[in-house]
Amino acid sequence: MPKLYWEDFKAGQVVDYGPRLVTAEEIKEFAAAFDPQPMHLDEEAARATMSGGLCASGWHTCSIMMRMIVDGFIFNSSSMGSPGVDEVRWLAPVRPGDHLTVRASVLETRSSNSRPDRGFAKFCFDMFNAAGIRVMTLTTPLIIGRREHGNVQR
Amino acid sequence: MPKLYWEDFKAGQVVDYGPRLVTAEEIKEFAAAFDPQPMHLDEEAARATMSGGLCASGWHTCSIMMRMIVDGFIFNSSSMGSPGVDEVRWLAPVRPGDHLTVRASVLETRSSNSRPDRGFAKFCFDMFNAAGIRVMTLTTPLIIGRREHGNVQR
């Protein structure tokens, strides 16, 4: 697969990644480390919460999405990272047994005015479960090296 | 410590949590699971990247922040979760050996028009290292149960 540079990303492109199975074990393991609230930590305790059963921490969902897009295209690109995230919305619970897919959409691209070796691409990442329910949406700008500058940094 | 309800959060409140040590081992462990890019995965490979050395995945930094605020106040509150995050900015690298603190600021609060048992509080969470450099800032609305409705759900 040829390496992807900023020039390869165009507004309107849409690519799907996954599916990725989510297990109860990893939901509980992530929660124990980073988000030890009852709905993420224990089936029994989760049933007594608003979520009505075990569900993944929103940060776990973000992290799973990151892994899917790193495997999907970031690792094979001249990505130079991201300054942050413009918006995250957790729309529906992520449950044990869910098979998640991510739809990556390029919203817009622009070259850098100050740094000729790079450009920006704004992405929307929508995550769906196997029932087609959108569980998360996230918008983020990526900084990507330009081909003509032979940038190979990650 | 008395449990915190929506009424206990007021615009202008500022509370600090931490410090929390970050180790190279956990940076690499998180990266192996969720963000296997060279600057998060291996000291030697990281030196050849833009980051100039091992640094935590931005999602790891978010997750550490979450753990610090769950321990800090969310677990002891009538939190009903969050619809998402309005903005994340990763401002400086998080390095092995960093001692991180989180400053939680209440930006605004409002009661829910449709649900009398809850209200909203918008927080800004700023994360600093021991040198006082702000490594991340994040803005998010939390949904919090109101005291007078005796809401004890999490």
How confident is the model over B45-75, as pLDDT tens digits?
999 888 899 999 999 999 999 999 999 999 9
SS3 B76: coil
**What is the end-to-end Cα distance of chain A in Å, rounded?**
17
Q: CB–CB of B66 and A84 under 8 A?
A: no
A85-128, pLDDT tens digit by residue? 999 999 999 999 999 999 999 999 999 999 999 999 999 999 99
pLDDT of residue B49: 87
Which residue of B87, B88, B134 is the best one to mutate when testing the A interface, meaning the one whose CB has the most A CBs within 10 A? B88
Hey, which residues does A57 pair with through a beta bridge?
none
Dihedral of CA atoms A38, A43, A48, A54 in degrees, nearest 10, equals: 70
Q: Which residues on chain B are in Cβ contact (under 8 Å) with A89? A: 83-84
Q: E strands along chain A, which residues?
A: 14-21, 84-85, 87-90, 99-111, 118-128, 134-145
Band (pLDDT 50/70/90 cuts) for residue B148 is confident
Residues 6+ apart with CB under 8 A from B94: B22, B27, B55, B56, B60, B61, B64, B100, B129, B135, B136
Average pLDDT over residues B18-36: 98
Instruction: Determine whether the interchain pair B59/A58 forms a contact, defined as Cβ–Cβ distance below 8 Å.
Output: no
Q: How far is B152 from chain A (nearest CA, A)?
A: 9
Question: Which chain B residue is nearest to residue A32, measuring alpha carbons?
Answer: B67
Which of A22, A62, A87 has the highest number of chain B CBs within 10 A, making it the mutation to test binding with B?
A: A62
- Contact between B55 and B41 under an 8 Å Cβ cutoff? The reply is no
Task: Say what the pTM is.
Answer: 0.95
The ipTM (two decimal places) reads: 0.94
Q: What is the pLDDT of residues A128-151, one digit of tens each?
A: 999 999 999 999 999 999 998 655
| pLDDT attached to residue A2 | 76
| A116-133 pLDDT tens trace | 999 999 999 999 999 999
Nearest to B140 by CA among B91, B101, B82: B82
Which chain A residues contact residue B63 at CB under 8 A?
A: 30, 33-35, 59-60, 63
pLDDT confidence band for B35 (50 / 70 / 90):
very high
CA–CA distance, B27 with B40 (Å, rounded to integer): 6
**Between B33, B64, B83, which is nearest A90 by CB?**
B83
